[in-house]
Chains A and B, each alone.
Chain A
Amino acid sequence: MIDKRAANVAEAVSEVFDGATIMIGGFGEAGSPIELIHALIDQGASDLTVISNNCGSGEVGLAALLKAGRVSKMICSFPRTANSTVFPDLYRSGRTQLELVPQGTLAERIRAGGAGIPAFYTPTAVGTPLADGKETRRFHDRDCLLESGLTADFTLIKARRADTHGNLVYNKTARNFSPVMAMAGRNTIVQTAELVAPGEIDPELVITPEIFVDRVVHVPNPAHESALVAAGATYP
């Protein structure tokens, strides 16, 4: 019997260990699995490397994980946020390292990692500071950089609908990085607003097939980061 349900968010993230690499879905607040991130703060794992497009806002979700001092390195494309000083303070004091990656290269590195492709060439970022130290090779009269695939020990993502096998459907632009991160995580943990039985999602409409998912936890009314920030919320 395949049943990937976890009883609650605490159980879902219980296996995360110190020093783990974690991919966290989301572009801004859209798709950010806030309840799983808060459970990870409670769980206590530290010295994490986090791969996520941004660094959160306010002092909830990803910004709260950073503020709690659990993240030693961020791999992301856009760590600046209008309403959060958490990452800038950590970066300037040297407590959190940053690997800045162009957004498309980040997506492709994650996709490649999930697809078993160790590295690929791309013209993105040639001639820029982000090319420093990277191998360059010419294809079709164009210089390209060698970029490596990314995988993670754990992936935390948010779905709108999941079945107990882990087939997923997302909400609008909250899909963003989650499908490729689900492929690239050795343990992919999903919080879902709706949890249904296998067969209730039309196979034609499944966005992430169950094989990429390890754990599913039902979070019926996920918080919106912007609403928490507007209310002045902090975590813990």
Chain B
Amino acid sequence: MTETGNSIGWSREEMAGRLAEDIPDGSYVNLGIGLPELVARFVPEGRELVYHTENGLLGMGPSPKEGEGDPELINAGKRQVTAKPGASYFHQSDSFAMIRGGHLDLCVLGALQVSRAGDLANWSLGGPDDIPAVGGAMDLVAGVKSIFVITQHCTKDGAPKLVESCTYPLTGLRVVDRVYTDLAVIAVRPEGFQLIELAPGADFDLVQERTGARLLPVAETTSHV
């Protein structure tokens, strides 16, 4: 348990670690920019994951050592990375065939909002002066087999990010499978948000209070918690 703004719940690293526990060995995974990138640091020992970056690399490794990078070997966040043994380079159309053709097992993304139906808003605040920029997010949510969202449970102002319906421009409809927050792990089911696991110090009532839609209790058949 870590001190956060709420004095309860998981830190960013613990959220990433909790998500990493749920990625099966041998998965082909695309990690979004920011908090999702942290997940790569916490993959449990003994599991091998292969990372895809949509600008054209399968088998992405960590950042290069100082002075050893190549400005033409970068990830989707335009930061220098490395290629692991067994990696491959390919053009955009092949890269998005991997995404849109359903060949990737999992994509981890950040969110502005997730709705009870699994709609995701994560690319634009929709302001009149905002420069709209979407990148590959809409392709990823449309094509990858599972979509996990990792995000703080609430905005900095305390507004819920898990909501009845999204008010920001959508990235995709009914695409999110699970949400990992500082307070809980939540599955998106046909009947709505279902609690899977509570973070240390959090209880059902607190998570419900900070969620903008009805939360279903942990299913009795689930072995978690």
Contacts and interface: CB of A to CB of B under 8 A. Distances in A.
B89 interface: yes
7 contacts: A103-B135, A104-B100, A105-B138, A127-B170, A127-B173, A173-B89, A176-B56
B139 interface: yes
Interface in A73-107: 77-80, 87-88, 91-92, 98, 100, 102-107
Interface in B41-76: 53-57, 70-74
Contacts of B55: 27-28, 30, 173, 176
Contact of A226 (B71, B135, B136): B71
B72 A180 contact: no
Contact of B91 (A98, A130, A171, A176): A176
Given A103-B134, A127-B173, A128-B172, A177 B92 contact: yes
A207 B92 CA distance: 13
Interface stretch (B125-133, B193-201, B203-211, B212-220): B125-133
B72 A122 contact: no
B29 to A, nearest CB: 17
B71 A123 contact: no
B156 to A, nearest CB: 21
Interface of A: 27-31, 53, 77-80, 87-88, 91-92, 98, 100, 102-108, 110-111, 122-130, 170-180, 207, 224-227
B143 interface: yes
Contacts of B78: 27-29
Contacts of A53: 92
Contact of B132 (A100, A103, A111, A176): A100
| 3 nearest A-B residue pairs (beta carbon) | A104-B139, A104-B96, A107-B92
A102 B74 contact: no
Nearest to B128: A92
A171 B72 contact: yes
B171 interface: yes
B93 A175 contact: no
A123 B101 CA distance: 11
Given A126-B173, A173-B57, A178-B91, A29 B71 contact: yes
Given A28-B78, A91-B131, A179-B91, A172 B136 contact: no
Contact of B169 (A103, A105, A129): A129
